[in-house]
Amino acid sequence: MFILVYTTAGSRKEAVKIAQALIKEKLVACVNYFPIHSTYRWKGKIVSEREYALFCKTTKKNFSRVKHAIKRIHSYEIPAVVSIPLENGLADYLRWIAKSVI
């Protein structure tokens, strides 16, 4: 089974750092990242900030390792790290993901 792991980063520099580490460690096959605007409640205050969203393509069996790697690298006290199942996809692309990760 394949998944997207979604997380956010506080800057482009941090998004690149996370993406490169995950790729280097062969935990994910690919990471897409792009700027977003986020509004959320943090420590009793409503905060609106620019962030970078990251979509990391990997296998379900790698989720725990990906989650721990993001937590280790990330500057946030509690980073968003969730998985989204990929139920369908181009077979060749899914095979590429499988061959790209440990």
Task: For residue range 62-86, list pLDDT tens digits in order.
Answer: 999 999 999 999 999 999 999 999 9
Residue 79 pLDDT: 97
Amino acid at 36: I
- Distance (Å, whole) CA 2 – CA 99: 12
The yes or no reply on domain 2-100 and CATH 3.30.70.120 is yes
Over range 84-102, report the average pLDDT.
95
What is the Cα 16 distance to its own chain's centre? Answer: 11
Dump pLDDT digits (tens) for 10-57. Answer: 999 999 999 999 999 999 999 999 999 999 999 999 999 999 999 999
In the chain the first and final C-alpha atoms are separated, in Å, by: 14
Helices vs strands, H then E, count in the chain: 3, 4
CB contact at 8 A, 101 and 21: no
Q: What is the pLDDT of residue 38?
A: 97
Q: Which residues contact 55 (CB under 8 A, 6 or more apart)?
A: 4, 5, 6, 31, 32, 33
pTM assigned to the model = 0.94
